Chain A
Amino acid sequence: MYTQSFNVPDNAGGKTVPLAPSTEDPVLQAAFDARIDADGRIEPQDWMPEAYRKTLVRQISQHAHSEIVGMLPEGNWISRAPSLKRKAILIAKVQDEGGHGLYLYSAAETLGTSRDQMLDGLHSGRAKYSSIFNYPTLTWADVGVIGWLVDGAAIMNQVPLCRCSYGPYARAMVRVCKEESFHQRQGYEALLVMMTGTDEQKAMVQDAVNRWWWKCLAMFGPPDADSPNSALGMRWGIKRVSNDELRQKFVDATVPQAKVLGVTLPDPDLKWNEERQHYDYGQIDWAEFWETVNGNGPCNKERLATRVKAHNDGQWVRDAALAHAAKKQAREMRDAA
C-alpha cells in the first residue's frame, strides 16, 4: 500500500544540503552526484555509494512489507463482504497489494538483497512497515475508509516516488500509483453508496472515519522540524516533498470530499485559513504514533505473528517446489546424457 516517510524525512533545502563526508572513490562519486543533480536515473548496474544502496533497500523493503502486512486488515472482511460485487472488488484490491509487494521486493532485489533476507528482517521484527496497518478493521465501513483515506494518503506519498532517482523503484511506483488511485476511488464510491443507505450504515461510515482520520494524518511521518535523518533522502532524489507539505496537501484535498460524502472529520480545529490558503488542523498524537511504530499498537503482534505463521506453515510447500525442480533438472540432464 505505501511506506510512511519516517525513515527518510525531508529538508526544504533539497539539493543545497552539503554532502556527507564520503569514503567512496571521488571520481565515481562525482559522476553519481552529477547524474543526481541532472535529475538522471540510477540503474542497477551503475555505481552507487553504499549508503545510497542501503537507504534504498531499507525504504523499498519497508514499502514491500507494508504492502504484504497491509493485506491483512482488509483481508479480514473478504469472507463477510456484504455483496458479491464488493467481495470481488475487495479480493482484487487485496490481491493488487500482494502484486505491489512482489514488484517492490523485485525492485529491492536489483540492489543485491534477496527476498528471503528482506522477509527475515520483517519476521524477526528488525524491519519496519507502515504503522497504519497495526490498527484493527472493526466494521465493513473500514474497508471503504481505508480505500478513501489510507490509500488517498498513500498516493500523496507515492506519486513523488515515481520521480525517484533509482530507476527500478520509480518504474514500480508508476504502476503502483495507478492501482492505488483506482483503490482510492473504489473506497470513496463504496462509502458514497453506504451513505445512501440505512441510518445504521451512515453511522458505520462516520464511526470508521472517526477512528481512521488521525491515523491517516500521522501516515505522512513526523513534522519536518522533528525529522531526524532527512537531508540525504532529499539530496539523493529519493524523497522529493516534505512530510508537512504532503500532509497539508492531503488535508486540503480531503475536506471537500468529506463534505460531499456527508461525514464530519473529527477535528474541532479543522478550518479554512484565508491567509495561508490552506486548512488548519489540530495536533496529531505523536506519542501514540511512535508507540505503534515501535511495536506497541493494538495489532502489531497479531499482524507480525500472522505473517510469520503463513511463512512457516508454507515452508514444506516451498521445500517441495525446490526439491521437485532439482529432481526434474537431474532427470533432464540424465536424459540428455
Chain B
Amino acid sequence: MSAAIDYLLHLADNALVLGQRNAEWCGHGPILEEDIALSNVSLDLIGQARLLYQLVATLKGGDCTEDKLAYFRETHEFRNYTLLELPHHGPLSGYAQSDLDYGTTIVRNFLYSALMALLWEALEKSANADLAAIAAKSLKEVRYHLRHSRDWLVRLGDGTDESHARVQASLDHLFPYTQEFWVQSPAEAAAIAAGIGVDVTTLRADWDAIVDAALAEATLQRPAVGGYVTEGKRGIHSEHLGFLLAEMQSLARAHPNGVW
C-alpha cells in the first residue's frame, strides 16, 4: 500500500508542479495560439494530477482528499523531479526574478514529455488497474505534448541565430536535471517490486533515441552531463519549489475551513 502511495505521489507531483509552471504562460504567450496550447498542456497535467491524488486519497482513506495532498503538504513532502519546479528562465537563485523564456519552457516540456510518452505506455500494464487506466488516458495527452514541444524545439533550434543560441542555452541549463530520471528512488524500487511501477532505466535507450533525433533535426548539440544529480523525487528540492508552493497554497491555507 505504502509503495503504491509513494509512487503515485511522485507521478502526481510531477504533473501538478509542471502544470502550475506551464499555467504561468496563460495570458503571456509569444503568440495567441501558443497561449492557448500551453494552457491546454497545463490543463492536461492538472487533470492527471487530480486523478492520481484522488487515487492516493482513496488508498489512504480517512479524510484525505486531492486538495489536502496538493495544498497541505510541505515542500520536502513533494516527490516531483527537480527539473519540473524550475522557473521558466536560466539558472538563478530562488529569490531572483527574470522574464519568462519560451525556450526554457519548450525544452523542459520536450525532455519530460519524451520520458512520459514511454513511461505512461509502460504503466498501461501496471498491476494497479486504476493506475493503468490513468496511464492510458495520460498517454494520449502526452503524445500531443511531445509533438507540440518537439515541433517548437525544431523551430527554435533551426530558426534564427538568436533562437538557436537561446534554445541551446536552455538545453545546456536543463539537460543535467534529466540525470535524476535514471537514478532509482526507494519509492520507485518498492513500486517496481510490487508490480505497480516501471523501471525507468529500461526506457533510457528509447528516450535517448527520441531526444537525439529531435536534437539532430533542431541542429542542437546534446550537452555532456555529469556532477550533481538532483533528488527532487526523494524530497530534496531546489530553492524554487518553496516559492511555487507558497504561492499555490496561500489561499487554501489562509482559509483551512473554506469550501470552494
Contacts and interface: CB of A to CB of B under 8 A. Distances in A.
Interface of A: 68, 71-72, 75, 78-88, 91-92, 94-95, 98-99, 101-102, 105, 140, 190, 193-194, 196-198, 200-201, 306, 309-310, 313-325, 327-328
B93 interface: no
Give the dominant DSSP class at B's interface: helix
A319 B260 contact: no
Given A91-B23, A324-B159, 15 more contacts: A79-B248, A82-B71, A88-B43, A193-B260, A194-B258, A198-B258, A310-B29, A313-B100, A316-B163, A317-B34, A318-B31, A320-B156, A320-B159, A321-B159, A325-B155
Contact of B260 (A82, A323, A327): A82
Instruction: Give the one of B39, B49, B70, B260 with max A CB within 10 A.
Output: B260
A314 B258 contact: no
B78 interface: no
11 contacts: A84-B46, A84-B70, A85-B50, A91-B26, A94-B27, A98-B27, A98-B36, A140-B251, A309-B28, A310-B28, A317-B156
B75 interface: no
B259 A201 contact: yes
B166 interface: yes
Contact of A79 (B23, B49, B255, B258): B23
Interface in B25-57: 26-36, 39-40, 42-43, 46-47, 49-50, 53
A75 B24 CA distance: 9
A258 B150 CA distance: 49
B158 A324 contact: yes
Instruction: Give the one of B33, B49, B99, B258 with max A CB within 10 A.
Output: B258
* Ranked 4 nearest A-B pairs via Cβ: A314-B30, A320-B159, A320-B163, A317-B30
A91 B50 contact: no
B26 A201 contact: no
Contacts of B43: 88, 91-92, 95
A179 B258 CA distance: 28
Contacts of B258: 82, 194, 197-198, 200-201
B91 to A, nearest CB: 19
B97 interface: no
Given A95-B43, A102-B33, A316 B252 contact: no
A316 B166 contact: yes
A64 B162 CA distance: 31
Contacts of A102: 32-33, 36
B95 to A, nearest CB: 17
Nearest to B158: A324
